[in-house]
Structure 1
Amino acid sequence: MNTVTPIVIIGGGAGGLELAAKLGRKHGPDKVYLVDKDTDHIWKPSLHEVAAGTLDIHREGLSYFMLARDCHFTFILGALEGLDREKKVIHVAAAQNEAGQTLFPARTIAYGTLVIAVGSKSNFFNTPGAAEHAITLDATAQAEHFRMQLLHALTQHQGTAAVDTTAEPVRIAIVGGGATGVELAAELTEAVASLHFYGANTFTPERHLSITLIEGADRILAALPPELSARATQLLHDRGITVRTGVRVTEVQANQLVDQNGECYAADLCVWAAGIQAPVFLTTLGLETNRIHQLVVNERLETVDPSIYAMGDCAQAPWVGEDAYLPARAQVAHQQANYLRRVLDAKIKGQSHTAPFTYKDYGSLVAVGHSKGVGSLMGVLSGKSWFVEGLVARMMYMSLHLMHHAAVLGVLRTFSLALGRLLLKRSAPRIKLH
């Protein structure tokens, strides 16, 4: 075992990877470890594009092994299996390939400081049938699964519609009117509209696809300003998407959903995008958790064990200056990564860093298709909130992804990568059919 007790980061999502990359470039692979159960990283807000087939994961994903080499951290492939706080070690499960062959055996890794950044997953709220019949977009594999199910349903429908013009369209129900649900609904209409480029000349979203977005609150994007919600609703209506608010799904069945009033919603495919919870295994680590399994941390992102930090969606962190907890947003994880970089950099140097984490809300952006978007920007200079929409909002939304890549890869490499993808896009298919 390595005699150096490094900083070990569990989870290579947006925040965890940014932290590992920045610390690794400064302190090297002996002092910075990143542990993740997957081999590739993808920016989670883009999973709705993977699900619709408008983004190819094999072009977009970044290899953790490649990133470890370039950013000078050590990557450990495997899932966190246990934690021994007294000995300050973690237990990592054996890693296997798709054929079931063992790539790496189970390992024990010593740590000096542990950072847990394992993100979140969908919360079914114990809704009967949801786990069996609904698809979530928590990971790449789930997004790919939905894409394949959608392609199968559409091709089956095309054959039926060729002989029966009155055939019902493919019915998709999306539960949850947050950013994921709204963005997926819009992306699906654009994906189906592109199918005519691939020999399916009769495909139109109006004839072959019926999308219903179901939200329990009185408006979609309920956590964002009402003006943004209203504009997003109008943009969805313009695309033929049915938006139902104030509806609580009480049961998911194989071909339909049932709400609190007993009303049924036909659904050939159901996507669950309502609510989040942290992974259940966090409750087994001997650390304090809340009702949705998040690790409870203080204003310095410390758990009850001062050598263990938690950040991102898996942490319940106080919002300093507000009577609330920090929201589960990518910009929170990004700012927390920058904060912990300073904290851990000071710790490596034998210094102390006691300032609390303070969150600055820069607003929110939501993509409604490839050419539209809506958002509210918190004015840094004016102190006012600005509403943006259309292509400007969409371009700003895309810039968030580039900013994440720049934090990991650096500005020059991100620019080269973005330019290369832009040029390749002219020869690449508009949607992924294979």
Structure 2
Amino acid sequence: MAERKRIVVVGGGAAGIGLCRSLARRFRDTHDVTLIDRNRTHVWKPLLHEVAAGVLDPNLEEVGYGGHAARWGYRFFRGALEKIDRERQVVTTSPLLDEDGDVLLDRHEIAYDWLILAFGGVSNDFGIPGVRDHALFLEDRGQADRFRQKLLNACLRANARRAEGEDATVPIVIVGGGATGVELSAELVHAARALNSYGLESFPSDAMRITLLEAGPRLLPALGEDVVAKVEDELTSIGVDVRTGAKVTEVRADAVSVEGMEDLPATLVLWATGIRGDPAVADMSDLELSKADRILVNPDLRTVTDDHILAIGDCAHCEPPGQDGPIPPRAQAAHQMADHAVEVIAAVEAGRTPEPFTYRDHGALVSLSRFATVGSLMGNLAGGRVAIEGRLARAAYLSLYRLHIISMHGWLRGLARLAAKQLGRAVRPQIKLH
């Protein structure tokens, strides 16, 4: 009997968890598949702004890696990548610590024949003073939980002070006018309107003062100007202070400095200015990196350094032939790369030359909480990009999440989970207060 080969996937995010299911099904008779991730559970990253605002309970959305692995026939190992030894074809994970700093699992080595890196990126702070010390981020579930808890604590303090006659407010500054910043702004307005009904009787919705800053000339550069104008109008109408051309120069514990403007008071600062590669990757391996610390890959997604290592999603720098610049760090790109990675391994092991990856931009959609959904889809109508809004845009937005659920669980289980979620909405509270 031929020895089974080993495929190791590092990172169980938007692409990684569905990729492991696909690999385990495709190569069940010939390969062992292992997923490495530092977390126990998966929450779809595009939902983190809802978790942060408290309008989504992550415990109802998360998927346990261990259970998912057992169901679909791969292995899960909890740990963080520390080193890649290409010569020995081994990855090393760093020691796993508990909440008290005690070692749960010591440093560990895992051998591979194929290595797929899908561990995403980190927020780009552009070297601006105070960002890492005072701002919050939305890169994972833990950070979203931390933002929600700080938000609730701030609102509770303001509610108590207002009950005593003070004009207390909770100023929140969101830096970055991309999808995360825009969607979080709207969700926070929705949350503020609901808090009054959940015990904070002295806290009116306008006591939460939200400012959205964008250094560029407009929000959402992936969308057309007409769509962006509607987004800005909608945000302004619900009370968000939108400022474009606003270049942050410093973040302090209680304020944000903006070039050419007065300092903005801030109880909370959320940094959402875009994604870059993790600088720690340079110390993990000798893989060639871009200026933004993304892993350089060939058009077929294999790294330029090693043909048996692939990189997909936000950690990869890929410029396919004919593409104007690198593929953007978006969930749809990560999913497409994951599908292509399976075909690359199949082609190489069959003695064929892998096809280059082709990115298909299906458009961009933005949900402004319960207020509106707008975006654009790529199609044959009107020569390419078509602006949509209202119920059609909302349906398209929700379909992205449904496709992710199906990619993780298959059609039968995926549809069952979606149906259960829909039924549960009737009994769930609007806001998570714990």
Query: If the length of structure 2 is used for normalisation, what is the TM-score?
Result: 0.95
Show structure 1 runs of 5+ residues with no match.
none
> Alpha carbons of 1:256 and 1:52: their partners in 2 closer, same or farther (altered >3 Å)?
same
Query: Matched residues in 2 for 1:365 and 1:76: separation?
Result: 34
Aligned residues: 429
Structure 1 Cα separation of the partners of residues 203 and 394 of structure 2:
26
Q: Who is 2:272 aligned against?
A: 273
1:216 aligns with 2:186: no
Kept in 2, the 8 Å contact 1:343–1:352? The answer is: no
Task: Name the CA distance, whole Å, in 1 between partners of 2:321 and 2:314.
Answer: 17
Deviating 4+ runs (over 6 angstroms): none
CA contact (8 A) 1:213 1:243 kept: yes
Q: Closer, same or farther in 2 for the Cα pair 1:371/1:66, shift >3 Å? A: farther
For residues 194-225 of structure 1, what are the alpha-carbon distances to aligned partners after superposition, in whole Å with 9 as ceiling and x for unaligned?
Answer: 1233222443322x110000000010112321
Aligned to 1:256: 255
What is the distance in 2 between the residues matched to 1:416 and 1:389? 28
Partners of 1:228 and 1:344 in 2: CA distance: 40
For residues 381 and 184 of structure 1, the distance between their equivalents in structure 2, rounded to whole angstroms, comes to 31
1:275: how far off? 2.2
How far apart are 1:17 and its partner, in Å?
1.5
2:183 corresponds to 1:183: yes
2:360 alignment partner AA: K
Partner residue in 2 for 1:195 = 195
More off after superposition, 192-201 vs 286-295: 192-201
* Distance of aligned partners of 1:371 and 1:409 in 2 relative to their CA distance in 1, 3 Å threshold: farther
Give the conservation status (yes or no) of the 8 Å contact 2:196–2:205: no
C-alpha deviation, 1:341, in angstroms: 1.3
Counterpart contact for 2:10–2:37, Cα < 8 Å: yes
- CA displacement at 1:398 relative to structure 2: 1.5
Alignment correspondent of 1:329: 330
Query: Matches of residues 29-48 of structure 1 in structure 2 within 5 Å?
Result: 30-48=31-49
Output aligned runs, 1:14-29, within 5 Å. Answer: 14-28=14-28
Number of the residue aligned with 1:342: 343
CA contact (8 A) 2:367 2:394 kept: yes
Distance 1:203 1:423 in 2: 31
- Per-residue CA deviation, residues 151-187 of structure 1 (Å, 9 max, x unaligned), is 011111111112325x142100000000000000000
- 1:317, distance to aligned residue in structure 2 (A): 0.2
**Higher deviation after alignment, 194-203 or 83-92:** 194-203
Measure how far apart 1:235 and its partner are.
Answer: 1.1
Amino acid at match of 1:315: A
- When residues 380 and 111 of structure 1 are mapped into structure 2, their CA distance, relative to the original with a 3 A threshold, is farther
Q: Match for residue 138 of structure 1?
A: 139
**Does the aligned pair in 1 maintain the 2:222–2:364 contact within 8 Å?**
no
Change (3 A) 1:202 1:394: farther
Q: Matches of 1:247 and 1:210 in 2, distance apart?
A: 17
Q: Secondary structure at the match of 1:131?
A: helix
1:50 partner amino acid: V
Q: Secondary structure at 1:432's aligned position in 2?
A: coil
**CA offset at residue 101 of structure 1?**
4.7
Letter in 1 for 2:418: A
8 Å CA contact retained: 1:370, 1:394:
no
Asked if the contact 1:9–1:116 (Cα under 8 Å) also holds between the matched residues in 2, the reply is: yes
Q: Which AA in structure 1 matches 2:279?
A: V
Tell me if structure 2 keeps the 8 A contact 1:371–1:390: no
Is contact 1:77–1:104 with CA below 8 Å preserved after alignment? no
1:293 aligns with 2:328: no
Contact 2:320 2:356 in 1 (8 A): no
Residues of 2 paired with 1:93 and 1:235: CA distance? 46
Distance in 2 (alpha carbons) for counterparts of 1:345 and 1:420: 36
State the distance in 1 between where 2:353 and 2:227 align. Answer: 38
Question: Which residue number in structure 2 is paired with residue 231 of structure 1?
Answer: 230
**SS in structure 2 opposite 1:280?**
coil
1:51 maps to which residue?
52
Query: SS state of the match for residue 88, structure 2?
Result: coil
The alpha carbon displacement at 1:252 in A equals 0.5
Query: 1:258 is matched by which residue type in structure 2?
Result: S
> Cα distance, 1:27 vs. partner?
2.1
SS at match of 1:6: strand
- Between 1:21-30 and 1:55-64, the stretch displaced more is 21-30
Letter of the 2:111 counterpart:
A
CA distance, structure 2, for counterparts of residue 218 and residue 262 of structure 1: 16
Q: Unaligned regions of 5+ residues in structure 2, if any?
A: none
| Contact 1:233/1:243 (<8 A) preserved | yes
Determine helix, strand or coil for the equivalent of 2:191. helix
- SS of 1:66's partner is helix
Distance 1:234 1:362 in 2: 25
Note if contact 1:320-1:359 (Cα within 8 Å) is conserved in structure 2.
no
**AA of the residue aligned to 1:118:** F
How many angstroms does 1:423 deviate by? 1.5
**Residue type of the alignment partner of 2:49:** H
Q: How far is 1:95 from its partner?
A: 2.4
Q: Please say which of residues 423-432 and 374-383 is displaced more in the overlay.
A: 374-383
Classify the secondary structure of the residue corresponding to 1:279. Answer: coil
1:362-381 superposed matches below 5 A:
362-380=362-380
1:265 and 1:320 map into 2 onto residues whose CA distance is 44
Match of 1:403, SS state, is helix
Distance change in 2, residues 1:244/1:262 (3 Å): closer
Determine the C-alpha separation between the residues in 2 that align with 1:380 and 1:41: 35
Does structure 1 retain, via aligned residues, the 8 Å contact 2:158–2:203? no
The aligned counterpart of 2:111 is: 110
Identity %: 39
Is the Cα contact below 8 Å between 1:212 and 1:244 reproduced in 2?
yes
Task: Give 2:117's aligned amino acid.
Answer: I
Q: Give the drift of 1:291.
A: 1.9
| Shift in CA distance, 98/5, structure 1 to aligned 2, threshold 3 Å | farther
Cα distance between partner residues in 1 of 2:165 and 2:78: 51
